[in-house]
């Protein structure tokens, strides 16, 4: 079963957010690595003052970049065809579980309504 356009759009939107966060974190780490390299050079050239400030800035940028990458949204996952069919069956007008009849009977009616709803569809 082919995913719907809405599912594809939601998947693409989630993937774009994840990519943007990864890009932002990567850029912060790269800038932090540049500052760290400059700070190491300055520490070796001079011994104190300005290099200490560069080390602090580098540590903050690298830390912020790692936090951004650590807090990435989860990878988007498209539901499998069986889940989509179950969801479509749950929205079927034939029978909706209400909890008024015994669970076994309700499960039978729900399965029957899904089967009747899927009867005319191609796989």
Q: Which residues contact 64 (CB under 8 A, 6 or more apart)?
A: 28, 32
Quickly count: other Cβ atoms within 10 Å of residue 39's Cβ.
Answer: 20
Together in a domain, 50 and 11: yes
Q: Are residue 52 and residue 106 in the same domain, yes or no? A: no
User: What pLDDT score does 92 carry?
Assistant: 59
Local confidence pLDDT in tens for the 123 residues of the chain: 677 888 888 888 988 998 999 999 989 998 988 888 787 777 766 666 777 777 777 888 788 888 888 888 777 777 777 777 677 666 656 666 667 778 788 788 778 877 777 776 655
Classify residue 105: in a domain, yes or no. yes
pLDDT of residue 27: 92
So what's the pLDDT on residue 105?
Answer: 82
On whether residue 44 sits in a domain, the answer given is yes
The number of folded domains in the chain is: 2
Residue 76 lies in a domain: no
Whether residue 61 contacts residue 28, with contact meaning beta carbons closer than 8 Å, is answered with yes
Alpha helices in 1-123 (DSSP H): 5-45, 50-70, 81-90, 103-118
Assigned domain for 85 exists: yes
The answer on 64 and 29 residing in a single domain is: yes
Q: Which domain holds residue 44?
A: 5-70
Is pTM beyond 0.75? Reply is no
66 & 86 share domain: no
């Amino acid at each position: 079963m082919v995913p719907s356009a809405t599912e594809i759009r939601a998947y693409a939107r989630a993937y774009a957010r994840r990519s943007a966060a990864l890009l932002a974190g990567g850029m912060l780490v790269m800038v932090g690595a540049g500052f760290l390299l400059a700070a190491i050079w300055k520490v070796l050239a001079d011994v104190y003052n300005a290099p200490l400030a560069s080390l602090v800035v580098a540590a903050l940028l690298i830390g912020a970049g790692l936090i951004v990458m650590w807090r990435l949204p989860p990878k988007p996952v498209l539901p499998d065809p069986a889940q989509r069919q179950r969801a479509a069956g749950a929205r079927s007008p034939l029978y909706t579980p209400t909890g008024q009849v015994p669970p076994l009977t309700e499960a039978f009616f729900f399965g029957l309504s899904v089967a009747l709803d899927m009867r005319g569809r191609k796989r």
